[in-house]
A and B are shown apart, each in its own frame.
Chain A
Amino acid sequence: MTPQELSKVTILFSGDSGDGIQLTGSEFSHTAALYGNDLSTFPDFPAEIRAPIGTVAGVSGFRLNFGSIEIHTPGGHVDVLVVMNAAALKKNIEDLRPNGLIIANSSGFDKRNLKLAGYDESATPLDDLRDSHRILELDVTKLTRESLKESSLGTKERDRSKNMFVLGFLYWIYGRSLERTTQFLTEKFAKRPEIAQANIAVLKAGYHYGETTEASLPRYVVKPAPQKPGVYRNISGNQATALGLVAASQKSGLDLFYGSYPITPASDILHELAKHKNFGVKTFQAEDEIAAITAAIGASFGGAMGVTASSGPGIALKGEAIGLAVMLELPLVIVNVQRGGPSTGLPTKTEQADLFQAMYGRNGEAPLPVFAAKSPSDAFDAAFEAAKYAIEYMTPVMLLSDGYIANGSEPWMFPTSGELSAIHPVKANLSEQPYLPYKRNERGVRSWAIPGQKDGEHRIGGLEKEIDTGNVSYDARNHEAMVKIRAERIEKLAESYPPLEMEEGEAEGDVLVIGWGSTYGAVKVAARDLNRDGFAVSHLHLRHLYPLHPELGHVISRFKKVVVPELNNGQLVKILREKYLVDAIPYNKIQGQPLKADEVHEALMNTIRSIVKNEKA
């Protein structure tokens, strides 16, 4: 059979948490990236570390969308659903498109597994789907054991490589080389070559199974995507955030001090940074989030680049210290990798519900810049930019990411260090005496004298400061003036933003979609498709949520309607309505899941229809 050519495919790997799903998915992704496909991935794991085996709660998933065209999201409906057990089928079947392909491990559908998944013991869930879907059943457990007949490993260890059988089989279906995964396994198990060999043997067995089996199997070709020429790597959002911070530290000449307390989904930033001590990076695993941020403030006071990261609950604890950083006017980057809230909420799920917290979550008038990353690779630029503004404007900056960006990954045409802009700390000129810690330059920025610098001795603190001297002041007029000064200096920083650019569409038209953060891919695809179909829809994606871009008001005024899709109950939309008195329309999804392009598409179509209706009326 000649393979069928496809422009894009969405695969969802799913199985029990112990089935090696994440590894299978990420290996397939790496191979696809090396082959030249554009892609986007999204892992979705259970909240429990060891949820009961075989149950729906214990299902782990890895979604991959890859293609020969530009890919911006991990896909809408799934084309291929890989299920290692009955629970995985039960959990994900609704995501599979009609007529989609199911690749099932038949030994995961025995009586025991059916019962654990909550099916009747006599149920035949796979058979029930045969009319509507294409089903390939393989007894992966048995086939894996057979291919390891000769191995010296015990049964448990043999069974652990069954994910490699599935991976090998998929490599055959999509005509992919085993090279990259073979090399990966050899390196990963360098200390236990017998395990590496077993995994490789099973991987090959899966591939050969495709080749030799009698059944007529589908095969597909997904050609490389037309990507901008350059050198690429794969990167996840948390990794990119960490690298952006290291890069900013290198470009500013300031040592990076990272204070953090573990929390999902931010912990991987700590793990990544802890690997890069040879860059002078100091990681400090604090006793709590308050210690994490205050240690970072102490480091900044000492002339370092202080950074802290957490997720919503931890950011709540940091609130008072963020206010202190606002008063001290010291550089500090605060990363919030948002997750579903409120309270502990949905710790492993994604949401954009901490925008108000970032904007207003402090006592007193305490404005600070709030930026957002839009995709895994963009987290690098966003982190770099947050650090640049923090250092050059002597202010804490809040960077918003989320679980979807943090754990998702995509190809990244990484920059060289030479392409990154320089970062200039605002050093104090101590030849001018006395040193006035709160004297400002033309941009409203105070200068930074650090301990160890002679004649720069000064005291700062959280009490209100006298203009210029920074001495404690309870003077009524001084307080009012200082509140305004602190607000204006942050407002002013917007003057140095790069120009606003549309992601899709023209500078004027019918509908303007304004997005922020991780909805980027879904909104972009929806807007692109509508444009192709002749609708005047434009997509703007905001990096700078506070202060907003000075041109934003003009841009908004050139459209008939504004739609604001968000993974929350409507936050940016309220800010825009308040600031520009525009009747912006919210589109909200609050399910702990990323936005899908077809959902945005439908919302935009509704708005377009309403315009047409109004104009006819």
Chain B
Amino acid sequence: MSETLTAKDFATDQDVRWCPGCGDYAILKQVQTIMPELNIPREDIVFISGIGCSSRFPYYMNTYGMHSIHGRATSIATGLKSARPELSVWIVTGDGDGLSIGGNHLIHLFRRNPDVNVLLFNNEIYGLTKGQYSPTSHEGQVTKSSPMGAIDHPFNPLALAMGADATFVARTADRDVKHQREMLLRSNQHKGSSFLEIYQNCNVFNDGAFEMFTGKDGKPFHTLYVEHGQPLIFANGEKGIVLDGHTPRVVDLKDGINQSDLWIHDEHDPFKAYMLTRMFDDPTAGFPRPFGVLYSVDRPRYEDLLVGQIEHARSIKGEGDLDSLLAGKNTWEVR
């Protein structure tokens, strides 16, 4: 690229309308910051969103963009990427948008695997509609629509993605600036659908939902950063995780356990990745929650297969000829 762009070049003239203190601001800032580093011309970048607070995102990105309808960003992006494989397509969605009304399209996106980046802002609440429980709200969560506590069992977004054969599954958090930046860059690098769940604080309707993972006090004990080839260690290096057969266990590194005995993260191993996503399920078991790239694998992209079939058809039948198509195989002449 001839001109060097900065984060500012990716901001629009529109007023950002999120509530003061909303986690969305931090994510917007990171995304605008990494954009110039991608080395992709601004006109080749497209942000597509559904409906929700988070889905306002495209209005603030000085790229091409569409703020569409509730839950459908994923299918719109699939169509766009199929029509224009050379574009860099980003999907911004929320836990309601992506996992509730748009859940069907999300899992189908994963199985098709077009090369798009999904950023799911998970705030465990419906923000835009002012505070009802969402598909990621925990059981018992008291919200406007669940005064006695939610009785719906929540989705585990990353396990859901694994179950739908997603090829890139990662987690980060709004307040974790450095980690988030790294995850955004990794998402972009992945060739295929990347799924990045971003814990996002909705300070108005669900404040502090992730305090445990992002706050100073809880973070060391509840957050586990996974890195390919590195042992699973947390609690300021004092604790680790070993695999006891098929069962993960938390161990104290002070007890003379070697780092080499620990579970070494292999992001290409689907079985272990699935176990990592499952650490979500039982907070009382004392497991930290894994952040980072849990899983990443290469699989053919939908748009490549689609274009491949077109090229193949052309190689055997030749470029389509409209006149012979209109005539078909059986004609007769009336004189």
Name A's B-contacting residues (CB within 8 A). Answer: 30, 33-34, 36, 180, 224, 227-235, 243, 246-247, 250, 255, 257, 259, 276-282, 284, 286-288, 290-291, 294-299, 301-304, 306, 320-321, 323-324, 328, 414-417, 451-463, 471-472
Q: Which residue of A lies closest to B334 (CB)?
A: A227
Decide: A298 and B313 in contact? CB cutoff 8 A: no
Residue from the list B51, B76, B322 in contact with A246, Cβ < 8 A: B322
Please list the 8 inter-chain residue pairs (A to B) with the smallest Cβ-Cβ separation, ordered nearest first. Answer: A461-B67, A298-B79, A295-B79, A279-B320, A298-B80, A298-B76, A277-B313, A299-B83
Q: Which residues of B contact A321 (CB under 8 A)?
A: 69, 72
Question: A229: which of B317, B322, B323, B334 is its contact (CB, 8 Å)?
Answer: B334
If A287-B104, A452-B86 touch, does A250 touch B322 (CB 8 Å cutoff)?
yes
- Cβ contact of A280, chosen from B58, B67, B310, cutoff 8 A: B310
Select which of A228, A234, A302, A303 is within 8 A of B334 by beta carbon: A228
Q: Which parts of B59-94 form the interface with A (CB within 8 Å)?
A: 59, 61-69, 72, 75-84, 86-87
> In the docked arrangement, what's the CA distance between A34 and B333, Å?
8
List 27 A–B pairs whose Cβ atoms lie within 8 Å, in order of A's numbering.
Answer: A36-B332, A36-B334, A224-B334, A227-B334, A231-B327, A232-B332, A233-B328, A233-B330, A250-B320, A277-B314, A279-B322, A281-B310, A282-B83, A290-B105, A291-B72, A291-B75, A291-B104, A294-B105, A295-B79, A298-B75, A298-B81, A301-B46, A451-B45, A454-B42, A455-B43, A460-B66, A462-B51
Tell me the minimal C-beta distance from B56 to chain A in angstroms: 9
Question: Which residues of chain B are within 8 angstroms of A287 by Cβ–Cβ distance?
Answer: 75, 104-105, 108
- Asked if A278 and B105 sit within 8 Å, CB to CB, the answer is no
Residues of A within 8 A of B255 (CB): none
Given B42, B77, B335, which contacts A298 in the complex, CB threshold below 8 Å?
B77
Q: Closest A-chain residue to B326, C-beta based?
A: A414
**Contact across chains for A459 and B12 when beta carbons are under 8 A apart:** yes
B306 within 8 A of A: yes
Q: How far does the Cβ of A71 sit from chain B's closest Cβ, in whole Å? A: 14
Residues of A within 8 A of B323 (CB): 416-417
Contact with A along B300-335 (1 / 0, CB 8 A): 000000100110111001111011011110111111
Residues on the B chain within 8 Å of A229, using CB = 333-335
Measured between beta carbons, the chain A residues less than 8 angstroms from B313 are 277-278
Contact partner of B78 among A224, A243, A295, A324, CB < 8 A? Answer: A295
- Residues in A with CB closer than 8 Å to B327 are 231, 233, 414
* B331–A302 CB distance below 8 A: no
Seed contacts A228-B334, A298-B75, A452-B84; 14 additional CB < 8 Å A-B pairs: A34-B332, A229-B334, A247-B322, A277-B310, A278-B317, A284-B82, A294-B75, A298-B76, A299-B79, A303-B83, A304-B83, A304-B84, A321-B69, A458-B64
Contact A301 B78 (CB under 8 A): no
- Chain B residues near A (Cβ < 8 Å): 12, 14, 41-48, 51, 58-59, 61-69, 72, 75-84, 86-87, 104-105, 108, 306, 309-310, 312-314, 317-320, 322-323, 325-328, 330-335
> Is the pair A295, B334 in contact by a Cβ cutoff of 8 Å?
no
* Chain A residues near B309 (CB-CB < 8 A): 277
B310 contact from A30, A34, A278, A302, Cβ within 8 A: A278
Q: How far is the CB of A387 from chain B (nearest CB, A)?
A: 14
A520 to chain B, nearest CB (A): 22
Contact B328 A457 (CB under 8 A): no
Choice from B66, B318, B332 contacting A459 with Cβ under 8 Å: B66
A451 touches B64 (CB 8 A): yes
Question: Please, which residue of chain A has its CB at the minimum distance from the CB of B64?
Answer: A451
What is the minimal beta-carbon distance from B304 to any residue of chain A, in angstroms?
A: 13
Q: How far is A328 from B72 in the complex, measured between Cα atoms in Å? A: 15
Partner of A451 from the list B87, B312, B326 (CB cut-off 8 Å) is B87
Residues of A close to B44: CB separation below 8 A:
451-452
Determine whether the beta carbon of B333 is less than 8 Å from that of A298. no
Chain B residues with CB below 8 A from A259, complex form = 79
Question: Would you give the shortest CB distance from A176 to chain B, in whole angstroms?
Answer: 14
Give Cα A321 to B66, complex, Å. 13
Contact among B48, B65, B67, B333 for A463, CB-based, below 8 A: B67
B84 contact set on A, CB distance < 8 A: 302-304, 451-452
Most buried by A among B42, B62, B80: B80
